[in-house]
């Protein structure tokens, strides 16, 4: 048992952090409160310290971040969705600005997508199947106009999947809300 120097309560040793000379004089709860108070009072100093550390250890920070993202896909998705909901106008503005400042990159990406779609469209498709594809896109646009919720035509098996590549055929197309489609990304 030990008495905390901050709250003057007697607590078991497990309630104190280890220190090279034994245990800290203040209990874990009091040290936590003290740390939180110090952080709030020295927020700018703390942020500057963080900035400096990130600049000096950029690759280490990036690697740690990549690892965390890979291990926590659900949290990443949740945080991204929350951020977008809270900052949708800001995000749309940034996207618009990027497209205006980088038209060649956007054109190249769009051309790559069209090429992949053409490569994934088999030559043996009948006229009826081409009409079915057009109809799916028409229904998607109709649903968007009618409900006010953006809809996309999605490839069930993605054209550029990691382990499997689908075809641009009616059987591989489905209509999803934009939110569902963007969440799905390149998976099936």
Give residue-wise pLDDT tens across range 101-117.
998 988 888 888 888 88
CA dist., res. 159 & res. 153, Å (int): 13
Give the pLDDT score at 165.
80
Q: What is the pLDDT of residue 158?
A: 85
Locate 103 and state its tokens. 């038209």
Does residue 168 have a pLDDT over 80?
yes
CB 181 within 8 Å of CB 155: no
Q: What is the pLDDT of residue 113?
A: 82
**What CA–CA distance (Å, rounded) separates 159 from 165?**
5
**pLDDT at residue 162 above 80?**
no
Query: Residue 161 — pLDDT band, cuts 50, 70, 90?
Result: confident
pLDDT digits (tens, 9 = 90+) for 119-140: 888 889 899 999 999 999 999 9
Task: Please determine, for residue 184, whether its predicted confidence score (pLDDT) is greater than 80.
Answer: no
* Residue 186: predicted pLDDT: 67
Mean pLDDT within 70-85? 91
Calculate the average pLDDT of the chain. 90
Residue-level pLDDT at 120 = 82
| Cβ–Cβ under 8 Å, residues 38 and 24 | no
Q: Taking 80 as the threshold, does the pLDDT of residue 185 lie above it?
A: no
- pLDDT of 188 over the 70 cut: no
Tens digits of residue pLDDT in 29-76 = 999 999 999 999 999 999 999 999 999 999 999 999 999 999 999 999
Report the distance separating Cα 29 and Cα 9, nearest Å.
Answer: 11
């Amino acid at each position: 048992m030990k008495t905390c120097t901050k709250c003057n309560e007697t607590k078991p040793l497990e309630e104190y952090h280890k220190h090279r000379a034994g245990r800290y004089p203040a209990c874990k709860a009091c040290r936590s409160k003290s740390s939180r108070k110090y952080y709030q009072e020295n927020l700018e100093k703390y942020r500057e310290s963080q900035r400096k550390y990130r600049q000096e250890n950029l690759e280490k920070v990036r690697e740690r971040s990549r690892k965390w993202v890979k291990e926590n896909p659900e949290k990443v998705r949740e945080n991204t969705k929350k951020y977008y909901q809270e900052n949708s106008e800001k995000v749309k503005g940034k996207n618009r600005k990027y497209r205006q400042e980088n038209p060649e990159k956007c054109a190249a990406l769009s051309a790559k997508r069209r090429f992949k779609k053409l490569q994934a469209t088999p030559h043996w498709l009948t006229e009826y199947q081409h009409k079915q594809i057009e109809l799916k896109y028409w229904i998607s646009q109709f649903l968007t106009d009618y409900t006010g919720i953006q809809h996309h035509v999605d490839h069930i098996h993605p054209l550029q999947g990691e382990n499997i590549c689908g075809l641009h055929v009616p059987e591989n197309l489905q209509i999803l809300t934009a939110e569902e489609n963007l969440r799905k990304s390149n998976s099936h």
